[in-house]
Structure 1
């Protein structure tokens, strides 16, 4: 069964759909558009009541009075100010751990300990993943229930000294043939999890002192960089029962909005062949040739077989380690991103055909498996308006002149205009009428289950890339500390308003219902999906009181081993009677 069988078929081509979306502002009826690609249409403003939407997005004006001053909000802001050293300390500890996805042993423990010390109850192993947890604080009636997201995984090869604007890996692994750099927080997840945890605690303090009803749930999420953690937990029901979800991500501006992201499929491909010697390569099933052929074939998709909104990229994870040794196993890992699950599935199917062709051409055996699958994100206009009002109310980060010089030095090393860190709150604007692609997030699966608010702070200067050593350098710098604290305040202030203004929560839910009226979310992970786990160290299992393996997981997993034989080269040729060449 196709994993997108739950998506309604319309008979519209992609060209038809994009044409309809592009012309929607001219007054066309939205009904056929909503059936062309329901997931893509639901994330656009075409899913909302046309009477409430401006004909021209340029006419939009953000409401200014949604953020309400209150003693509870003052209490939350004051707590963040008084505990800024503790918050910065947690930020920097997680930055120093710099642990990879699914193995954030120290990072997840540090974040959970911070929450537990401030009155939260911790439940480990959410969704069957050891480093995922749920921290809960409840007061009064326990309603409404607001969720926070905490991430803490780092990225390979992005190690960098903190606060240094020239490339200088903190961890450098010497190998005269292939030196490597260590892991680094080039996406700022050390700050992401820290600010969210600080906001959760600050809100809980305000709830206690001001006797506010509600429940705060903080979801410690593993492996966001591999887009695994939240999608697995959403399928398992871990996020059920929320009234709203509040999220943020380090960025290059202080902004919020209700735009979408790309849906994504992630697959790992393994080619199995035979041994060989570089000096006598004949009769070898060459797996390195297979991954090379696959990467070449998929590159041919880019020019004529990919839509403007699509993204395709890969990493060769395992192949030859020496020129004179033919590896019996080579692996390559692909992401396929598109504006909806149906479109991402089409792109990944093309990639799989390229893998099959590469295996056929090299006489190798192919195995492949789904590693992750996430939806496009479903924004919430009313939630973004509330967040923007609170960002304006709190104000932008107050960067010192030294911070701005650091930001400009980073931009100089990157060859981009030297403007420094963004020191204003960006204007709130509607998303573009036609989605043209971009990144992906496993927060997207949450957004189809509960109204979700997302925002970003200027955690890195404009022009520098996410997933770069430049971002690692800022993630534990003074400038990074300022934006982490600002993010904590934006999140806490917005959440206090959600607790004290039930009308806004109701409006967010009403919008959510309108957006999802034509489509039913279903996990892209099939039943029987195999979790990509690593075995935790003994100390972590003991501290978190978890058993190994998790329920439903077979350990160790089935090995991928080559059993191939040498290819048939045909009958041996008779010896030549020709005289040797002179």
Structure 2
């Protein structure tokens, strides 16, 4: 780690901050859902082409995926970017109360407008640094669609898009500054459909075979299953088609979407088969026909301590950006909008000194050290599938007010604020510095690869998305 790298990267990124802010705000305004991020992808592709990267579109059959490459030969360093939004989270950008732009419209409730552009900023500065120092190697930006629904990176990993990559880096917006030295739950996403026989619910109910009854019985059965599954496993569902709105009709068709999570790919496959058996039982009880279709899936995350130690060192050397008083006013208003349960949960993670700091300034501006052992997050991320194929490191930076809960209107409201962009560029700088050191430090790369092999312990990547499943058309 050298001060020279930090200084140069800082100048390279700050010199283009206006461009990065403009790109991020445009992606925020598009707020496109998974597999439909055409405007967002086109915008970022144009920026890369103007910067001198070569671009390949449509990786792994994903229309809104792309890879932008610069340089040649080894090592190959990947930086991952996302740009999909969430349904139902439309929100005006300068409002600190819930105020949708379009009722039930979409919004960047996980900050992926920032994520994609922060990673782009890192790739731009690595390219510039390579030019200035005549470095060998290749820098790639992977434009990764559908993280929120559909697991775009898992499709890309299944099709071998990362096979020749030596190391990969990513980040995520949040309310803390940390490297993500953690594992996660693997997940399978599947749609269950039931088909029965319609009938007049009053006159001839005995002739009906209710698909909606089957859906309800499946849900009851899965709720009983919860007692008999691993503690860290999770199962969630949403009824997506009740078959109609008339109670006087026996519904002949109904559907629901399930997410089944468990800490290891083998475990999630086992648990998923148990869920399928419950669905079979529900169909048997109602004399309906059941079918299911896996629509997505991703592995558990494999962290890399060697890369995370370097990334954390750069984060501490760079330092979290200063926050203006005007930004603090907005942050305080967002914090005040949170529910008491959200605040209580967030404060429970802090020591007394940190709680006192938050009371005055509700933003985590300190940088958290590596945990003594790997942490665990109950959620899932398709970055995991990359981490099963190549040594991968990630960080999170405080783009949001303390306690902000992901997938909420408060995240959308903060998505274009100056402090959010500054924290985004902070992440970009940390990634860029780590990527540059990985490009030039053979010993670090060898250490990261050796750890990667040790963590997998001979296990091979086998996608949770079956080979015959293709990305949905949008």
* TM-score, normalised by the number of residues in structure 1: 0.75
Q: For 1:258-308, what per-residue CA distance to the aligned partner results, in whole angstroms no more than 9, with x for missing partners?
A: 221111111111112233456657132222222222222212223x21322
Within 1, Cα distance between the matches of 2:404 and 2:6?
A: 34
Which one has a bigger Cα radius of gyration?
A: 1
1:516 aligns with 2:469: no
Of 244, 248, 267, which residue of structure 1 is paired with 2:171? 248
The aligned residue for residue 351 of structure 2 is none
Tell me the SS of whatever aligns to 1:343.
Answer: helix
Q: Structure 1 residues 192-201 or 364-373, which shifts more?
A: 364-373
Deviation at 1:84, TM superposition (A): 0.8
Tell me the SS of whatever aligns to 2:51.
Answer: coil
1:468 aligns with 2:392: no
Does the aligned pair in 2 maintain the 1:145–1:214 contact within 8 Å? yes
Alignment of 1:101-500 (within 5 A): 101-138=34-71, 142-172=73-103, 181-277=104-200, 280=203, 282=205, 283-302=207-226, 304-324=227-247, 327-416=251-340, 417=343, 420-432=362-374, 437-500=377-440
Q: Structure 1 residues 273-282 or 77-86, which shifts more?
A: 273-282
Within 1, Cα distance between the matches of 2:120 and 2:365?
A: 24
Does the aligned pair in 1 maintain the 2:182–2:376 contact within 8 Å? no
Ranges in structure 2 where 5+ consecutive residues have no aligned partner: 344-358
Count of equivalent residues: 454
Deviation at 1:163, TM superposition (A): 3.3
Does the aligned pair in 1 maintain the 2:61–2:471 contact within 8 Å? no
Q: For 1:110-164, what per-residue CA distance to the aligned partner results, in whole angstroms no more than 9, with x for missing partners?
A: 111111111111111101111111111115xx32110011111111111111132
Within 2, Cα distance between the matches of 1:294 and 1:390?
A: 50
Does the aligned pair in 2 maintain the 1:156–1:183 contact within 8 Å? yes
Deviation at 1:427, TM superposition (A): 2.0
Q: For 1:410-455, what per-residue CA distance to the aligned partner results, in whole angstroms no more than 9, with x for missing partners?
A: 23222244652211112222335xx655111111111111110111
* TM-score, normalised by the number of residues in structure 2: 0.91
The aligned residue for residue 2 of structure 2 is 68
Deviation at 1:481, TM superposition (A): 1.5
Within 2, Cα distance between the matches of 1:363 and 1:210?
A: 70
Change (3 A) 1:347 1:405: farther
Does the aligned pair in 1 maintain the 2:174–2:396 contact within 8 Å? yes
1:533 aligns with 2:467: no
The aligned residue for residue 18 of structure 1 is none
Does the aligned pair in 2 maintain the 1:143–1:215 contact within 8 Å? yes
Does the aligned pair in 2 maintain the 1:294–1:358 contact within 8 Å? yes
Change (3 A) 1:301 1:436: farther
Within 1, Cα distance between the matches of 2:203 and 2:83?
A: 47
Q: For 1:74-101, what per-residue CA distance to the aligned partner results, in whole angstroms no more than 9, with x for missing partners?
A: 3332121111111011111111111111
Per residue, is there more helix in 1 or in 2?
A: 2
Tell me the SS of whatever aligns to 2:183.
Answer: coil
Does the aligned pair in 2 maintain the 1:147–1:246 contact within 8 Å? yes
Instruction: Report the RMSD for the aligned CA atoms in angstroms.
Output: 1.9
The aligned residue for residue 555 of structure 1 is none
Within 2, Cα distance between the matches of 1:190 and 1:424?
A: 24
Deviation at 1:389, TM superposition (A): 0.5
Deviation at 1:526, TM superposition (A): 2.9
Of 21, 44, 54, which residue of structure 2 is paired with 1:88? 21
- Displacement over 6 Å in runs of 4+: none
The aligned residue for residue 23 of structure 1 is none
Q: For 1:171-220, what per-residue CA distance to the aligned partner results, in whole angstroms no more than 9, with x for missing partners?
A: 11xxxxxxxx1111111111111110111011101111221112011111
Within 1, Cα distance between the matches of 2:23 and 2:202?
A: 54
Change (3 A) 1:76 1:280: farther
Change (3 A) 1:280 1:256: farther
Within 2, Cα distance between the matches of 1:182 and 1:314?
A: 22
Does the aligned pair in 2 maintain the 1:339–1:437 contact within 8 Å? no
Within 2, Cα distance between the matches of 1:352 and 1:480?
A: 43
Change (3 A) 1:408 1:102: same
Q: For 1:21-64, what per-residue CA distance to the aligned partner results, in whole angstroms no more than 9, with x for missing partners?
A: xxxxxxxxxxxxxxxxxxxxxxxxxxxxxxxxxxxxxxxxxxxx
Within 1, Cα distance between the matches of 2:152 and 2:257?
A: 18
Does the aligned pair in 2 maintain the 1:316–1:332 contact within 8 Å? yes
Does the aligned pair in 1 maintain the 2:57–2:63 contact within 8 Å? yes
Within 2, Cα distance between the matches of 1:476 and 1:169?
A: 15
Does the aligned pair in 1 maintain the 2:362–2:402 contact within 8 Å? yes
